[in-house]
Amino acid sequence: MKLIFLGLSITSSWGNGHATTYRGLCRALASRGHRIVFYEWAAPWYSGAHRDLLPEACDWADIRLFDDWSSIRPSLRRELSDADAVVLGSYFRPGIEAADFLADTFEGPRLFYDIDTPVTVRGYRDRGAAEYLRADQVPLFDIYFSFTGGPVLRELELEYGSPRAVALYCSVDPSRHRPVAPVSSYRCDLGYMGTYAPDRQPGVEALLNEPARRHPDRSFLVAGPLYPADRAWPGNVRRLDHVAPSDHAAFYSSNRLTLNVTRAEMRRWGWAPSVRLFEAAACGAAIVSDNWDGLDTFLVPGTELLLARSADDVASYLGMSDRELAEIGAAAREKVLARHTNDARAQEFETELSWVGSRARAAR
């Protein structure tokens, strides 16, 4: 099949989780025999050194960078003429215009992939629209793929008219996300990787900075962009602005414990695993995580990850033996490789696309 994607970014992983998600899914779909065409607005902040996948170097997708929406509509219309399905993603810059264009231009399966569902639904509730899709455009898509599962799927169907809302969670590539030899620059007792977000920072403060202050003999590491330059860190907390995807396995394999902190909206809805959670698990990391509804459907607390509500919890985990932590990491890896690989997501994608075809045939 020929599949067209319109997404935030596939060329740059800097400051976003979309690129690694699209790369994993699209690469897996390509390996299963599908042709991928990906349209991405050429954001200036994703250019230069921040672009870690050059379009000309990608052999599993045809990547089309563009500066202006009106300039690519003729090209997109031609590509749609023989496409089998089209996927519009959240935070695609001209998303609202693109949704109407696709509804007017393409009669085949139209799919929306919401990698930011809690943010999107809040926009629907508060303003009748997110930046990239209006609430009244939801029914234009045959399937609403969501990074968040649980109750929000029913709301998307009952309140906003989606014909079918299903979870399509993030995933990992076992060949890239696996235990590797530790790297000295990433060694620490507790590491955290994540782009700065004001609503996530209280969790970083409580579960990393406060333990660092209490345990000056321990080492801590925070990696990710966009942190305010004037933010103060304890003396035993090191900062890295960015870790390239190719180094993620080394990062997680070098952390004695890896912290997972979830954004407030995603905690509120629950059933919202992050890309980093699955990546760390696939690398066999011993994960310390905040808690939210549905977490135990992905990794079981106590045996596959460690729950932390306070700095005291983190302190107790820092005192665990290497053997205990290795057993937890191994169990998490086994679970993620069984259920949350890129190929598993590609199969789920194909199954849902078949449902659209069955629905269309039944309607005739």
Kindly state the helix (H) or strand (E) to which residue 55 belongs, with its residue range. none
Residues 342-352 as b or e (16 or more Cβ within 10 Å = b): bbbbbebbeeb
Looking up tokens 């460690």 gives 306
Tokens for 179, please give them.
Answer: 């235990």
Environment class of 30 (CB within 10 Å of its CB; exposed 0-12, middle 13-18, buried 19+): middle
Residue 107 burial (C-beta neighbours within 10 Å; 0-12, 13-18, 19+) = exposed
184-339: CATH topology is Rossmann fold (3.40.50)
**18, 7 contact by CB (below 8 A):** yes
Q: Hunting for tokens 């045996």 — which residue is that?
A: 303
Contact 190, 208 (CB under 8 A): yes
* Domains of the chain, residue spans: 2-171+342-363, 184-339
pLDDT tens, position by position, for the chain (364 residues)? Answer: 999 999 999 999 998 889 999 999 999 999 999 999 999 999 999 999 899 999 999 999 999 999 999 999 999 999 999 999 999 999 999 999 999 999 999 999 999 999 999 999 999 999 999 999 999 999 999 999 999 999 999 999 999 999 999 999 999 999 999 999 999 999 999 999 999 999 999 999 999 999 999 999 999 999 999 999 999 999 999 999 999 989 999 999 999 999 999 999 889 999 999 999 999 999 999 999 999 999 999 999 999 999 999 999 999 999 999 999 999 999 999 999 999 999 999 999 999 999 887 765 455 3
DSSP bridge partners of 288: 259, 306
Strand pairing report for 188-193 and 143-146: unpaired
Q: What is the pLDDT of residue 98?
A: 98
CA distance 110 to 108: 6
Q: Return d(Cα 290, Cα 308) in angstroms, integer.
A: 5
CATH of domain 2-171+342-363: 3.40.50.2000
Same topology between domain 2-171+342-363 and domain 184-339? yes
